[in-house]
Chain A
Amino acid sequence: MSDQSVAYLKDHIKGQLVEAVLIDGVSSDDVERAEAAWQPFLVQELDKHRRTGNPEIRQLEHSHWDWRKKHRATEGLIAYRMFGVECDGEVQGLMLVSTAGHPCRIDDQKGKEQVYVDFVATAPWNSPMLVEAPRYGLVGRVLIATAVQLSLAEGFRGRIGLHALPQAETFYAQKCGMTDLGKDIKKQGLRYFEMTPVQAAGFLQ
């Protein structure tokens, strides 16, 4: 089942907020459209930077993620939800979350339920790591806000958790205001971040 609602992204070219569509229940067609556009763009940009020898551009840490595979693996499982943001006819971001099986770790909320963000990514043309002039901003923020809203709707009081790729650590710590619980050796040494109800309220303001 798929539902859509309105979200707003920052159009960097126009310098203003533009209407986008938040998809709850991303379909295999949506994923196919995303991968069909994201991967060629990524390959083309990386090739361009290799040729020009641009030292500022780095490989995106999530460029190897296969969203088709993730969609197939979780389709029909009620513990998982996949969200997407669409704007200008293209998928601008995707997020896979699970609503069970990832209890909180912060002492004050240890063992309580939360929404765990398994994967979240913006389209490569929106990444300042890859392109000099990203097209849309706020994609990550809209998706994380969606995870928080889902947590509230599920009765989890806004609690969310995730393991961050190094390139995104600052975003979760500073922009989202999440607590950094340090490296998790059981998750490839990625840092684990968690959001409390108070932090969630602050983030949504």
Chain B
Amino acid sequence: MQVVYVDLLATFGYSGFKRAGMPSDKKTMTLNLTEAEMEALEKLSQQKDLSKTAVLRQALRLYQLVDNRMAQGETLYFEDKEKKNKSELMVL
């Protein structure tokens, strides 16, 4: 099991980008990940040129966004531009 510390401030509010140097009101949590999960996180971090914390924030933002749209009865699709077909993405 791998452990990462996640800064949730930007996820739940102010990112602090205008308050550099001021005391932080960020929340910290410990996250336990399996080897495979950590490997996926590291790969995304490298591919996206982001810190692991930033990748997790992005994941949470997208998850909330998708969940919100689906709760309103919308459906999420992926489109293959070449084959011109669409497939529905099943979310939890």
User: Which residue numbers of A lie inside 8 Å of B, CB to CB?
Assistant: 1, 3, 5, 22, 24-25, 77-79, 99-101, 111-113, 149-150, 152-157
Contact check, B58 vs A113: say whether CB atoms are below 8 A apart: yes
User: Which residue numbers of B lie inside 8 Å of A, CB to CB?
Assistant: 10-19, 47-51, 54, 57-58, 60-62, 64-65, 68
Number of A-B contacts (CB under 8 A): 63
Contact check, A24 vs B18: say whether CB atoms are below 8 A apart: yes
Most buried by B among A79, A112, A150: A79
Kindly provide the distance from the CB of B88 to the nearest chain A CB, expressed in whole angstroms.
Answer: 18
A-B contact pairs, 29 of them (CB 8 A): A1-B13, A1-B14, A3-B19, A5-B19, A22-B18, A24-B18, A25-B13, A25-B14, A78-B64, A79-B61, A79-B64, A79-B65, A99-B10, A99-B58, A99-B61, A100-B58, A100-B61, A100-B62, A100-B65, A101-B61, A101-B62, A101-B65, A113-B50, A113-B58, A152-B17, A153-B17, A155-B54, A156-B50, A157-B49
Contact check, A3 vs B11: say whether CB atoms are below 8 A apart: no
- Chain A residue numbers with a CB within 8 Å of B51 are 155
- Chain B residue numbers with a CB within 8 Å of A112 are 48-49
- Chain B residue numbers with a CB within 8 Å of A25 are 13-14
- Chain B residue numbers with a CB within 8 Å of A149 are 17-18
**Which 3 pairs of residues, A with B, have the shortest CB-CB distance?**
A153-B17, A100-B61, A79-B61
Q: Which of A100, A111, A153 contacts B15 (CB 8 A)?
A: A153
- Chain A residue numbers with a CB within 8 Å of B68 are 77
